[in-house]
């Protein structure tokens, strides 16, 4: 068996029927920074190969597996997609494997290698991949430089909505059972490892992507007891959630929305112990503006706020009113937002919305506009600047990470966050494994488009592992690497100044004003930028270096 193998950038997607581009010549990293690289290989016979990857620093090796995309893109997508945005198999799952891989003649495969340099690993190394079949050993190598400087801490507040009910549904474990808690913690750990430091916390079952009149599995963390004259609240589950999250490295807590999505006209599903048993007391039949729910919120806030202060996390909690209100929802949203402000006004608030007048009229402290609307908010917002993307950002080269999109379309995010002084990012699907409106469960390995609703890759970034751990997608790794770019830029600015960083960013580019619509589309540019940043940090860390 003859085998061809060579290093490939992490920004290339390796398809079985197409030889990938090879432009990666070397890798440079800071201590404690994660590095991503691929080795693509192809054999001229069917069979099995053994794999061995070595380096002078710790590495984690995955096998890249393809997943079927039924709805790869919307019909009116822009031109910057792979495979013309058609249905088919796309590389995405980063699977654990032993040391052997079955291969078919003439097909291309990829190993995804994550380098994890630690203290004592600085210096020159060689990353080597050996693909072995019988007496044949095909080898590829790439130089690795690890600088002694450590990467700066992340300052960006980042959430991908964490759907714990999907863990319950997929693994068939009772909510709040010990197994549920074990699996949940595993998935939170993986989220934090990839830059997600702001955790959606289901005070009550989040009223997100739910069919009107329908419901999602109950995962509310607050115990409610309905008394003749009011309510009592228990926070034991919420406290366990907070302790678990802090143990995993979560820094901020995103309190779930207290009004329904797309209008703020109803209450979320709220369950309570009552004289007639455990039952739902608020939901789709609740008038959000009615006295009953208003009284409930007042009593709830009176109990919750002291608890959060006692836990010492009040300054790290943020509250939502309702997700994605449109201009037709203005008056209902205003009424709900004013209620939240009256009860939780000492906390930061945020909501995904794209109508600037909601912010100008004081209804939300931290508006989160979608990327295409960010420019409208940039000058107007005086506090934190946020943005988000979801299924709607797929035209005019807006950054996103559907299966069919080049990885550079996601890697640009860290650079744009830096250039626009963005302090927060939101994305709705860390692990949404339901069809649209949460009508039924889906298997993310076989149905990646939420029931033909969203382009594959929009609804989740991780897959369920057989042992209750999160299996990462290559898209999640690329996103993490984009956040590392941001951290490198911030670190370099601390050593020099913003002008120096911008000069390094724009070096070799005719465009000197990157926007969410206009930025480099060449994967090699991002590899070069990363090298320029790490080299500059190493240079300016020398006390004799001059700006």
For residue range 390-402, what is the model confidence (pLDDT) as tens digits?
A: 999 999 999 999 9
Per-residue pLDDT of 126-162, as tens digits, reads 999 999 999 899 999 999 999 999 999 999 999 999 9
64 and 148 co-located in one domain: yes
**Residue 440 forms part of a structural domain:** no
Domain end, chosen from 152, 187, 220, is at: 152
144 and 265 co-located in one domain: no
CB 525 within 8 A of CB 412: no
The pTM of this model reads: 0.97
* 41 contact partners, CB below 8 Å, separation of at least 6: 3, 4, 5, 6, 49, 103, 108, 109, 110, 111, 129, 131, 138
- Grade residue 98 by pLDDT with cuts at 50, 70 and 90: confident
Closest CA to 100 of 145, 51, 161: 51
| Angle, vertex CA 366, rays to CA 430 and CA 335, nearest 5 | 100
Compute CA distances 338 → 93, 342, 356, whole Å. 44, 6, 17
Q: Which domain holds residue 119?
A: 3-152
The pLDDT, as a whole number, for residue 443 is 98
Say if strands 230-234 and 223-227 run parallel, antiparallel, or are unpaired. Answer: antiparallel
**Residue 48 forms part of a structural domain:** yes
118 and 228 co-located in one domain: no
Tokens of 56: 């002078």
Rounded CA-CA distance 95/115 in Å is 16
The pLDDT, as a whole number, for residue 508 is 84
The pLDDT, as a whole number, for residue 545 is 60
Rounded CA-CA distance 156/423 in Å is 5
Rounded CA-CA distance 374/416 in Å is 11
Rounded CA-CA distance 20/23 in Å is 10
135 and 203 co-located in one domain: no
Rounded CA-CA distance 124/134 in Å is 31
Q: Domain with 99 in it: what CATH number? A: 2.60.40.10
Per-residue pLDDT of 185-232, as tens digits, reads 999 999 999 999 999 999 999 999 999 999 999 999 999 999 999 999
245 and 336 co-located in one domain: yes
**Residue 144 forms part of a structural domain:** yes
| Share of residues in the chain with pLDDT > 70 (%) | 99
**pLDDT, the chain, mean:** 97
114 and 229 co-located in one domain: no
**Residue 51 forms part of a structural domain:** yes
Compute CA distances 427 → 71, 159, 418, whole Å. 19, 6, 18
16 and 107 co-located in one domain: yes
25 and 111 co-located in one domain: yes
34 and 114 co-located in one domain: yes
Per-residue pLDDT of 292-344, as tens digits, reads 999 999 999 999 999 999 999 999 999 999 999 999 999 999 999 999 999 99
**Residue 521 forms part of a structural domain:** no
Per-residue pLDDT of 341-366, as tens digits, reads 999 999 999 999 989 999 999 999 99
- Grade residue 249 by pLDDT with cuts at 50, 70 and 90: very high
Q: How many domains does the chain have?
A: 2
The pLDDT, as a whole number, for residue 547 is 47
Among 9-13, 115-119, 399-403, the minimum mean pLDDT is found in 115-119
147 and 284 co-located in one domain: no
Model confidence at 543: pLDDT above 90: no
129 and 208 co-located in one domain: no
The pLDDT, as a whole number, for residue 360 is 97
**Residue 84 forms part of a structural domain:** yes
* 14 contact partners, CB below 8 Å, separation of at least 6: 8, 20, 38, 40, 64, 91, 108, 109, 110
Query: H/E element holding 91?
Result: strand 88-95
30 and 142 co-located in one domain: yes
Rounded CA-CA distance 266/285 in Å is 7
């Amino acid at each position: 068996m003859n085998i061809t193998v060579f290093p490939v950038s992490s920004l290339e997607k390796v398809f079985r029927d197409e030889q990938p581009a090879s432009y990666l010549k070397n890798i440079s990293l800071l201590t404690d920074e994660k590095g991503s690289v691929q080795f693509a290989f192809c054999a001229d016979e069917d069979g099995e190969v053994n794999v061995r990857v070595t380096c002078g620093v710790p590495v984690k090796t995955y096998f890249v597996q393809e997943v079927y995309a039924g709805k790869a893109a919307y019909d009116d997508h822009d031109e910057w997609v792979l495979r013309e945005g058609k249905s088919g198999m796309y590389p995405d799952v980063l699977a654990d494997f032993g040391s052997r891989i079955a291969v078919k003649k003439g097909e291309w495969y990829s190993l995804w290698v994550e380098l994890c340099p630690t203290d004592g690993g600085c210096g020159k190394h060689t990353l080597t991949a050996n693909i072995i079949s019988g007496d044949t050993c095909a080898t590829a190598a790439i130089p690795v430089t690890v600088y002694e400087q450590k990467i700066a801490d992340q300052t960006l507040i980042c959430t991908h909505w964490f759907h714990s009910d999907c863990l319950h549904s997929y693994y068939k474990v009772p909510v709040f059972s010990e197994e549920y808690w074990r699996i949940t913690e595993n998935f939170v750990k993986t989220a934090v490892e990839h830059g997600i430091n702001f955790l959606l916390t289901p005070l009550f079952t989040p009223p997100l992507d739910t069919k009107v009149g329908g419901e999602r599995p109950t995962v509310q963390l607050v115990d409610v007891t309905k008394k003749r004259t009011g309510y009592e609240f228990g926070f034991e589950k919420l406290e366990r959630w907070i302790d678990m999250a802090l143990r995993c490295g979560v820094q901020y807590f995103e309190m779930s929305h207290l009004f329904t999505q797309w209008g703020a006209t109803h209450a979320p599903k709220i369950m309570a112990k009552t004289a007639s048993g455990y039952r739902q007391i608020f939901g789709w039949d609740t008038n959000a503006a009615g006295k009953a729910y208003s009284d409930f919120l007042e009593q709830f806030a009176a109990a919750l706020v002291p608890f959060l202060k006692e836990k010492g996390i009040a300054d790290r909690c943020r509250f939502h009113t309702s997700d994605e209100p449109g201009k037709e929802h203005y008056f209902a949203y205003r009424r709900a937002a004013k209620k939240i402000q009256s009860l939780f006004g000492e906390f930061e608030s945020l909501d995904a919305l794209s109508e600037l007048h909601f912010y100008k009229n004081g209804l939300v402290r931290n508006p989160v506009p979608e990327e295409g609307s960010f420019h409208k908010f940039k000058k107007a917002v005086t506090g934190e600047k946020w943005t988000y993307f979801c299924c709607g950002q797929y035209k005019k080269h807006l950054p996103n990470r559907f299966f069919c999109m080049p990885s550079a379309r996601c890697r640009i995010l860290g650079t744009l966050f830096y250039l626009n002084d963005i302090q927060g990012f939101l994305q709705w699907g860390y692990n949404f494994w339901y069809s649209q409106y949460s009508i039924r469960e889906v298997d993310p390995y076989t149905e990646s488009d939420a029931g033909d609703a969203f382009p594959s890759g929009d609804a989740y970034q991780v897959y369920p592992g057989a042992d209750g751990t999160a299996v990462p997608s290559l898209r999640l790794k690329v996103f993490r690497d984009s956040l590392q770019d941001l951290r490198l830029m911030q670190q370099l600015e601390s050593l020099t100044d913003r002008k120096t960083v911008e000069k390094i960013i724009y070096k070799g580019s005719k465009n000197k004003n990157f926007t969410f619509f206009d930025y480099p589309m060449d994967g090699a540019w991002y590899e070069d930028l990363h090298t320029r940043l790490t080299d500059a940090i190493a240079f300016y860390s020398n006390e004799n270096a001059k700006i």
